Chains A and B, each alone.
Chain A
Amino acid sequence: MSAPAGDHQGPVLTAHRAGLIGCHSCGRVWPQDQEQCNRCGAHLRPPDRRGLQAVWAWWLAGLIAYIPANVFPMMRTQTFAGLAGNSEATILGGVMELIHYGSYDIAIIVFVASIIVPVGKFLAIAWLATVAGRPATVDQAHTRLKVYEVVEFIGRWSMIDVFVVAILSALVQLGFVASIHPGPAAVSFALSVAFTMLSAQSFDARLIWRGLPLRSSRA
């Protein structure tokens, strides 16, 4: 592959500037008025800031779902049919419990996966969507793309906590001795992760490289 312009350091001709539209799914290039990629069937969307509405919508949905995920218990543990106590653990409570038992490594995994990653993801997507399309230097654009790729890669890993709850509640059904039931936070946390994944996916990385935004289309 080579650029039509030939010079790798010089200005790069983008599909948008050439009056064409590139398919985000398979890379095929079509005339700008084409609406669907004839090769892979994906919907062709121009790289402008209108696409950011979807990003913000999913972002907000994820943020809303993240609140009950932290307030309500992730799971309820019942030991000796409730005689030895019922315990309910929120996300943070679960981490505290792990620290209490001395398994610091697992505590760190859970803490990173269910608190640091989601919060970091909210901040990162919000930042990317805010600066998208603004003029940037090449270095800044590379940084933003790096941030985006990290967000895209790491987002799925927040599901760990949901899987833990699912496995525990399936496994620990020991009748009288102990049983674990998933709490409402498990569902809302799963939804929050899914929504932020959708938010990250709706973000068009090509906007990072658009030197000049279509400010008029922002409304």
Chain B
Amino acid sequence: MERDDRFDLATGRGLMACPRCDALHVEEQMDLGETARCVRCGTVMAKPRDGAFAQLIALSFTSMVLLVGAVFFPFLEVSTMGFGNASSLFDVALAFADGILLPLVLAVLAMIIGLPIFRAFLLLYTLVPLAQGRTPYRHAARAFRWSEVMRPWSMAEIFVIGTAVALVKVAGLASVHLGPAFWAFCALIFVNLASRAFMCQTSIWDAIEDAGMATEFPADPRPGVDG
């Protein structure tokens, strides 16, 4: 293997390890639209897309708007024998605010509303300066890492399926009308899918790094030594 300056086996500079199988790769400049896969396990390691940051910003805004609507508009309306009950998720939260099931309600609300909104906010915090070519905000790296950590815990799409099941269960008992908040959640699924298509963690990390965050390993201690 020819020795070149692109990477350094002593400090790890210019190298990337597959998070799934630990195989080492040399970082290379990629063209937009290309997809890099790990040579050993095939995990997608990078897929830079044209205008991805702008798309992600737009989609994050969209999901924030949808989520705010989903909280305050009526979600489902149920009525039987003259007894009716229209509830927004906000009402639901208030109704349970003093019960012993408060922790469960809080956890559910966090998973379907809180984390998605927070993730959208963190993504905006990270990406807006990067898209404008400015220096990222101070906690950009931490914000993006947390947003990735929270990804499995934001469960809006699962909530929609849960709603469908609940509708069938309640259908025999009362008549149910879907409110705007329900459709907001359905739209959110598609926004999330689109967002996933544009999301390339490697590109974002590289952008954060290139934009001047202090990320290099402090001063190569053994110049010229290779591993």
Q: A29 contacts which of B24, B41, B148, B214 (Cβ < 8 Å)?
A: B24
B107 contacts the other chain (CB 8 A): yes
Residue B227 lies at the interface, judged by CB distance under 8 Å to chain A: yes
With both chains docked as a complex, state the minimum distance between the C-beta of A183 and any C-beta of chain B, in angstroms.
Answer: 10
- Choice from A14, A159, A187 contacting B17 with Cβ under 8 Å: A14
**A38 partner, pick from B19, B78, B87, B214, beta carbons under 8 A:** B214
CB distance from B52 to the nearest CB of A (A): 17
CB–CB B145/A41 < 8 A: yes
Closest chain B residue to A6, Cβ basis = B1
Q: Is the pair A26, B217 in contact by a Cβ cutoff of 8 Å?
A: no
Residue of B12, B25, B163 near A20 (CB, 8 A) is B12
Contact A106 B168 (CB under 8 A): yes
A1 touches B216 (CB 8 A): no
User: Which one, B41, B101, B144, contacts A142 given CB within 8 A?
Assistant: B41
Interface of A is mostly: mixed
**Chain B positions 91 through 116: 1 when the CB is less than 8 Å from some CB of chain A, otherwise 0:** 11001100001011101100110000
Decide if the interface of chain B is mainly helix, strand, loop or mixed.
Answer: mixed
Q: Give Cα A173 to B162, complex, Å.
A: 18
User: How far does the Cβ of B156 sit from chain A's closest Cβ, in whole Å?
Assistant: 10
A73 an interface residue at 8 Å Cβ cutoff?
no
* B78 and A171 within 8 A (CB): yes
Q: Which of B108, B201, B208 has a CB less than 8 Å from the CB of A166?
A: B108
Stretch at the interface among A50-58, A120-128, A174-182: A174-182
| B163 A168 Cβ-Cβ under 8 A | no
Chain A nearest CB: distance from B210 CB in Å?
A: 11
Chain A positions 123 through 165: 1 when the CB is less than 8 Å from some CB of chain B, otherwise 0: 0000000000000000001100100000010011101111110
Q: How far is the CB of A159 from chain B (nearest CB, A)?
A: 5
Q: How many residues on the A side are at the interface (Cβ–Cβ under 8 A)? A: 77
Contact (Cβ within 8 A) A98 B104: no
- Cα-based distance from A205 to B22 in the complex (angstroms): 9
> CB distance B78 to A47 under 8 Å?
no
Interface string of B22-44 (1 = CB under 8 A from A): 11111110100000100111100
- Chain B residues, Cβ within 8 Å of A110: 165
Is B138 interfacial (CB 8 A cutoff)? no
Q: Write the nearest CB–CB distance from A5 to chain B, whole angstroms.
A: 7
B202 within 8 A of A: yes
A209 on interface, CB distance cutoff 8 Å: yes
Quick one: which of B21, B85, B144, B155 has the most chain A CB within 10 A? B21
| CB atoms of B215 and A38 under 8 A apart | yes
Smallest CB–CB gap between B106 and chain A, Å?
11
Q: Is the pair A5, B1 in contact by a Cβ cutoff of 8 Å? A: yes
A168, closest chain B residue (CB): B166
- A163 to B24, Cβ gap below 8 A? no
Which residues of the other chain, B, contact A6 by a CB distance below 8 angstroms? Answer: 1
Question: Is A201 in the interface zone, CB < 8 Å from B?
Answer: yes
- The reply to whether B27 and A1 form a contact with Cβ atoms under 8 Å apart is yes
Q: Which of B3-11, B56-64, B65-73 contacts A (4 or more CB under 8 A)?
A: B3-11
The answer to whether B22 and A47 have CB atoms under 8 Å apart is yes
B105 near A166 with CB under 8 A, answer yes
Shortest beta-carbon contacts, A-B, top 3? A22-B17, A163-B162, A29-B12
